[in-house]
Amino acid sequence: MLDLRRLQALHAVVVTGSVKDAAAQLGYSPSAISQHITALERETRTVLLEPAGRGVRPTQAGQLLATHAATLLGRAAEAEAELAALNAGETGVLRLASFATAGAELLPPALAKVRAALPLLEISLRVAEREEALSTLRQGLLDLAVIEAHTPPAASDSDLNFYPLLSDPFRIVVPRGHRLAKRRIIKLADTADEPWIDIRCEVGCCRAATSAAFGQAGFEPRRVVEADEYWPAQGFIAARLGLALIPALALGVLHDGVAVRRLHHANQPVRHVLAATRPAITGTTPVQAMITALQAEADTQRHPTRQPKPASPATRIE
């Protein structure tokens, strides 16, 4: 394999016609240029330069090699430029995955910030729950995943870097006008006789968190209606078919027939939202920009300047 630096030295000598001028062009000493040429002739077992007056000129082999060197040096420069652009987030694709409610409330403003900062970066986003997202991330098919967790990541996840974003408390959602809607804070034990909505998207750590809360309150909820997502569940609640525990992130838009109340701290389930990425790409500009934007938006979610807009003036979060 020919050394690109030696080819660069040969090309410079052929173009300038002088070892001294080639050295000045490349910022080397004439001795260093001569050493590169000597080593290249030894590797190729070919005389590449011959004296010509006060300078040198290429032999036929030297001219052939210098011509190819020009092409190789050009391609190397293109590769360096493209790599620099990729590392700067000016080209390439940032591949993301997120669970659904973070994708609805946390990601859009963060993505807008990244797109404004890196307008030429292509962004790909898919919905995936924790285990799928982490598996895909480890396989190198994702660059960053936004996941939910009830407890801190296990030691087995030490091959990834995790960035805590926010803690997302569950709220109790009741029909407007319900007897419990009069309270600002509700003890979960006081709902033991109420029907509950079974929300199918509540899986993994979310189901573990709510199940633990019900267990602490001393009862197993009587689930009477099944909803696929958090928003349809609000419709069932408004129809007075049952109550539900819903994470605050999933309550950005409220049905006009529901009231949202806080739970007593003794039975308050919480899920933690984190960003995860691989150590090898943590320092790249696109990943760093996305993490920074997510952290900024998470801070906004923790300290909102206004309450989420309800579907009706009569509905509010207390």
> Do the domains 4-87 and 169-270 sit in the same CATH topology, yes or no?
no
What's the whole-model pTM score? 0.71
- Taking residue 116's Cβ as centre, other Cβ atoms within 10 Å add up to 9
pLDDT per residue as tens digits for the range 8-46: 999 999 999 999 999 999 999 999 999 999 999 999 999
Give the range among 69-78, 83-92, 139-148, 280-289 with minimum mean pLDDT: 83-92
Angstrom distance (rounded) from CA 162 to CA 97:
14
pLDDT value, residue 313: 35
- At a CB cut-off of 8 Å and minimum separation 6, what does 27 contact? none
Domain ranges of the chain: 4-87, 93-165+271-302, 169-270
Identify each DSSP E strand in 54-138 by its residue range: 55-58, 93-98, 122-127
CATH of 93-165+271-302 given 3.30.360.10, 3.40.190.10, 1.10.645.10, 3.40.1260.10: 3.40.190.10
pLDDT per residue as tens digits for the range 101-133: 887 778 999 999 999 999 989 999 999 988 899
pLDDT value, residue 169: 92
306 pLDDT tier (thresholds 50, 70, 90): very low
Give the range among 37-51, 107-121, 205-219, 302-316 with minimum mean pLDDT: 302-316
220 pLDDT tier (thresholds 50, 70, 90): very high
pLDDT value, residue 155: 55
- Taking residue 101's Cβ as centre, other Cβ atoms within 10 Å add up to 25
End-to-end CA distance of the chain: 71
| Closest residue by Cα to residue 308 from 244, 238, 253 | 253
How many Cα atoms are found within 13 Å in the side-chain-facing hemisphere of 86?
Answer: 9
The SS3 assignment for 304 reads coil
Q: Which CATH architecture has domain 169-270?
A: 3-Layer(aba) Sandwich (3.40)
**CATH topology classification for 4-87:** Arc Repressor Mutant, subunit A (1.10.10)
